Each structure stands twice: as structure tokens, then as C-alpha cells.
Amino acid sequence: MTYQSINPYDGKLLQSFDDLTEESLETKIATAAACFESWRQTTFAQRAAIAAKAAAIMRARADEFARPVTLEMGKRIAEARGEVALSADIIDYYAQNAERFLAPERLHPSSGEAEIESTPLGVLFGVQPWNFPYYQLARFAAPNLMAGNVVMVKHAGNVPQCAIAFEELWLEAGAPKGAYTNLLISHDQVNRVIDDPRIKGVALTGSVEAGKSVAARAGQNLKKSTMELGGSDAFIVLDDADLEKTVEWAVWAKMNNTGQCCVAGKRYIVVEELADRFLDKFRTALAKLEPGDPMDEATTLGPLSTEGALVNLLDQVDRAVGDCATVVMGGKRIDRPGSFMQPTILADIAPDSAAFREEFFGPVALFFRVKDEDEAVALANDSAFGLGGSVFTGDVARGKRVASRIDTGTMFVNHPTWTTPDLPFGGVKDSGYGRELSNMGIQEFVNKKLVRVEAIDAPA
């Protein structure tokens, strides 16, 4: 069965859901296509009223929305509430700014008049992951609904209650049926949706392999797509960094959402002068994290999202050790019920090992010591991924220079990579293409249509 809520804290099955039949899927696509024809005619003010209400509902019932996040994928309850608030902020952001972002752009041709209109494409299809069950949906749905598109979403199989709750949110806020549609469909049915001529664009956040498959299918159908495919972000520590504060952020960058974040700190690249002291403080701080019930506010270490995620990560660590990596700390399952893993630091990772190239999606930090800034930059860029990264230094100008040399979609100076509604999010290389959030996010799935006015007697 594709959709199951299994609590990773204790392994108990909470609820199962059947996949849609082909008949039900066809009905939903037809409903979305019909909805688009009317939704595209609504004004920005009408759409904004619905979006603002959706955001207000999320804020007013934050605990109600946060609870299934914690129960289905193990996010600590305080972080789950934070995700609800961030999702509401994103929805509000586009409610308030979409009309300005998509206002006609006046051009200045040599004669006559011209402007660029931004018009919606139609029904969009999103394939979304489990690690931020509402945020991922909000950053896809909010800009595109405000642009006049309608959206259909296949969410991850382990967070069906979150997926259903988000669809019900839009209906409660007053969106017409078909504006936002949750699809409980199988992986095979994904291709059926992408192939459907009523679908005009495709967005995916997920693994590289999933991205290759979905992007290829969209390409075969000549459909615009965006891909956010994870990363192996460098957390660079230069010799003049404030060590105490940097270590605090290093722990946050690694352990937010138990490390299950596309822009989590994954490769810790530290100059030789600070390497030993950083490693000692980093290890000491990670060792203080205590596993427990993620519904308990006192818990500082939650479980991984699923048993399968834990098994895969443990296998990655074992293979890395087999390739001569050193386990500085952790590396094992925690001996207790649930899908818990020890916070882990691996060092001495050889460039020819798989671990050097892979993304570790969980509480595993890869530690590298380098001789200087140039070597740090070279190592940071020696990756197939290019999503985010950060650099810590006492000299902001130096930090900005280093940031400019790193091949990623995002670089932060003296802060771990994170996200807000008004900052663009997306990557390069195997981390994908396209941008979400900010003014850039709402431009991805609109037609930039030139409207030209010229005197009828003007020469061609």
C-alpha cells in the first residue's frame, strides 16, 4: 500500500489509505481542468482573500496542523509548529505580493507600444517529499494559485494525513473544488498524470533519481518543469571565525529536522588552525542531544522519518567505514524502540569513496580539515550537488568573496542555510533547476506573453 501513516517514534501503524482508482484520478483531473477555466478569471484580490484565510486558519490551529507532522514523520513538535508558521507566512506573502510581482511589464520599443503580460499556464502537477510536509506544499501551491494556475499534488507515501489536511485547508478557506487537489496515487500513476495533455507544468522536490525520471517524462511531453533535488551543503569554517557561535550554528545546521533537510549542513570543511577545537566542541555539543518522544517539548533528538530511512543511512555509514572513513562519534542505531540514530561524525573520507559523493540525509556530518581558504573552496565545489552552503568568518567582506566562489544556488555568510518567503530557493548541477519562493518563484509557471501595439500603416 502506497500511503501509510506509521509513527517512527514507536513503529505503530496509525492509518492506511487506498490509492486512487483510474476512474477517480480521471475525475479529479477533469475537475481541476474545469476549475482552471473559472479560477483564471478571478481577480488577484479574490484569490488573495482565499489565500489569506488559509494562512489565518493555519495560524489559529497551529497545534492541530503540527500534530500529524510529528506523528507521521517524527519532527519534534516545536519544529512542527515552526513549519506551520512558515507555511502560513509563505501563503500570506504571495497573497500580499502576487499582483505586484505579475504586473504587466512596460517595454520601450523604437515605435508603438509593447508590454509583457504574465498569464497562468493551467493545471500544474507537483511531486513533493515528506521532510517538510506543509512547507513543501505551500511553496508550490501559494504562488501558483495566486498566479491563476490550479495545482494537483502527489505527496510522499508516509505523510498522507498531512497531505489530506492541506487540501482540506484550501477548501475550508473558500477555494473552489479543483483549485488544490491532493492525489493519493502510485508511482506508476505519476507518469499517467504527467502524460495527460491537461497538465501544463511539473514540479518535483526529491531525490536525483526521482528528478531524472520525472524531468525526462515532462521533457518527453514538452512540459515546463522545475526540480529541487537535494544537496550536500558545505559548512565552511575559516580561521577567523567566532568558534563558539559557529559551533552552535553547526549543531543547528546539522540537527534541524534531525538532519533531514535538503540544505542541512552535511560537509563540515574547517581550516587546520581551528579543526581540532571545532571538532571537539562539535562532538561535545552533539553528544548532549537526548532521544525521546518528539511530541515532548523536552526531547532534543527525534527519530528519523521511517525505518527505511534509518536502515539506508546506517548502510551508508557502514559502506563509508568499509572505505576507510573514521567514525569520530556515533554511527549506530540507538538501542530503543523507534527509528532513532546516534548523532554521527565521519572523518578521513577519501575522494574516491562513495561517501565523498553521496548525500547523507540525517544526523550524519562529514568532517574535512583543509589548509586554507582556497582549499576549502575547492573542496566545497568538488561535488555533483549545488543547492546551498554557508561560510563562517570574522570578516564579512571575506565571507562574501568566498560565497561568490562557491557553485551553489544559495550561500549564507555567518548563518546556516535556511529559507524565508522572500528569498529564492533552488540549486544548480544535480541539485536541479528553477527557483521557488520570492518574486522568482511565482514566475516559473506563467506565460510571459508579449502584447505589441503598432500603427497599422507602420512598416514591418
Catalytic residues: 228, 262
Query: Roughly what angle, to the nearest 10 degrees, separates helices 44-60 and 62-73?
Result: 70
Phi, psi of 232, rounded to the nearest 5 degrees? -135, 70
CB 346 within 8 A of CB 325: yes
CB 207 within 8 A of CB 387: no
The pair phi, psi for residue 77, each rounded to 5°, is -60, -35
Report the relative pairing of strands 344-347 and 326-329 from DSSP bridges: antiparallel
Can you tell me the distance from the alpha carbon of 86 to that of 82, in angstroms, rounded to the nearest whole number? Answer: 6
Task: Collect contacts of 3-6 with beta carbons under 8 A, ≥24 apart.
Answer: 3/157, 3/160, 3/184, 4/157, 4/158, 4/160, 5/68, 5/71, 5/72, 5/158, 5/159, 5/160, 5/161, 6/72, 6/158, 6/306, 6/307
Enter the C-alpha cell of residue 3. Answer: 500511503
